[in-house]
Amino acid sequence: MDNYTRLVDTVPIWRGFLNSVFITFTSTALTLYFSALVGYGFSKFNFKGKDILFVCVLSTMMIPGQLGIIGLYKMMDIFHMLNTYFPIILPSISNAFGVFFMKQMVDSSVPAEILESGRIDGCGEVKIFHRLVLPLLTPAIATLGIFSFIGKWNEFLTPMILLFDNNLQPLPVMIASVKSQFATDFGAMYVGIVISVIPILIFFSIVSKKIISGITAGALKG
């Protein structure tokens, strides 16, 4: 309790917790939806230049994110978005790994016959995606959700550079600031680490059930 008291007196840790919750859940939702949407498009639609465009998307995975941080900073400065959550959340729309992962899952989990039956029944393409494709991708969405949630929850470099207001900082940045002030007393820092780990464990315990249930359902139906 003494460690917790020192932690709360040093930084607004629960404000950082709420900031991380907002950033992480919003970013994860955007990543899952648009990755599934783009992966479905690459998998089931034929258009000119599809293969070249998909290779371009995959090639971005070879570029470390740290190399683009300067360009991102200058771009957000031009758009007057520095010290806001937009430059942290909006890039989640374009997740190359998520697109690749979802395309592979759509190839193996979404039969073309189901899509054709939906079109015969008069469903539009948007309705087919939401009513037929997304339910079949539930295990894949849960799996990608775990990776996206953990990655965004633990993100440190981008918020530290783009957010200047301490009240906007997420939890990892606040924990790092505690470490800089308590050079020899690691008790307060470890309390912050425990607080940051608990949501990951809760999210994993909830989402992992979706993965197991989806695999079990597929095995029974097969």
Answer positive or negative: Cα dihedral of 62, 67, 72, 75.
negative
Cα distance between residue 53 and residue 133, in whole Å: 22
Residue 200 in contact with residue 153, Cβ under 8 Å? yes
**Calpha distance 8→109 (Å, rounded):** 48
Question: Which two structure tokens, joined as six digits, stand for 140?
Answer: 């894949």
> pLDDT at residue 41 above 80?
yes
Q: Please check the confidence at residue 37 and state whether its pLDDT lies above 50.
A: yes
Residue 180: pLDDT over 70: no
What would the mean pLDDT of 88-104 be, rounded to a whole number? Answer: 93
* 30's tokens: 């955007």
In angstroms, the CA 71 to CA 65 distance is: 11
Give mean pLDDT, residues 166-192.
Answer: 79
Rg (alpha carbons) of the chain, rounded to whole number: 21
| Residues 143, 104 contacting (CB under 8 angstroms) | no
pLDDT at 18: 95
- What's residue 183's pLDDT? 60
**Which amino acid is residue 55, in one-letter code?**
V
- Name the token pair of 211: 């993965």
Nearest to 165, CA basis, from 18, 27, 22, 16:
16
CA atoms within 13 A on the CB side of 116: 3
The stretch 18-31 carries a mean pLDDT of 95
Q: So what's the pLDDT on residue 128?
A: 92
Structure tokens at 137: 């991708």
> So what's the pLDDT on residue 218?
44
How confident is the model over 2-14, as a mean pLDDT?
A: 86
